[in-house]
Amino acid sequence: MKARVTVTLKNGVLDPQGKAIEGALGSLGFAGVGAVRQGKVFDIEIAENDRARAETALKAMCEQLLANTVIENYHIQVA
Amino acid sequence: MKARVTVTLKNGVLDPQGKAIEGALGSLGFAGVGAVRQGKVFDIEIAENDRARAETALKAMCEQLLANTVIENYHIQVA
């Protein structure tokens, strides 16, 4: 089973990397670019045929390793 | 208009970061974790009401800055 986990910064958390990209896009001549926020995406293959169990395992992975839940949100999509 | 750009490594390109996560998940006791690949996600606000023009602009941003098209694929989703 394939899954995609998206980890994004929570609202209100400063994102200097996103700000830098915003500035770079402006320098390249792209007008009208508002806020840019950068996050991470993980494509994970998991040997589990039960959807619910896969989601439970992925949630635990996010809590323990993939996301810093103090400042980040995560979203799990099982394909 | 809000858009999400997902940048992932092409198949066949080595992903040491993904491999490290794979190993870390194994060490944490998660069994059955197969390949892990890490990518990036950009949430971009763009001052453009026309969907097609927004997509064209985002495509140019990907080609010029957000993705290294030699080793990475990008996917644009306009909300």
Can you point out the beta strands (E) in B1-79?
2-9, 33-46, 72-78
Chain B positions in Cβ-Cβ contact with residue A28 (cut-off 8 Å): 61, 64-65
Residue range B19-70, pLDDT digits in tens: 999 999 999 999 999 999 999 999 999 998 999 999 999 999 999 999 999 9
ipTM, two decimals, is: 0.92
The partner residue sitting opposite B47, judged by closest CB among A24, A34, A44, is A34
Q: How many domains does chain B have?
A: 1
Length of chain A: 79
* Model pLDDT, residue A79: 85
* Model pLDDT, residue B79: 85
The CATH code of the domain that includes A8 is: 3.30.1280.10
pTM for the model stands at: 0.93
Nearest in space to A42 (alpha carbons), one of B33, B29, B65, B8 = B8
Rounded to whole angstroms, how far apart are CA atoms B5 and A4? 14
Rounded to whole angstroms, how far apart are CA atoms A60 and A65? 8
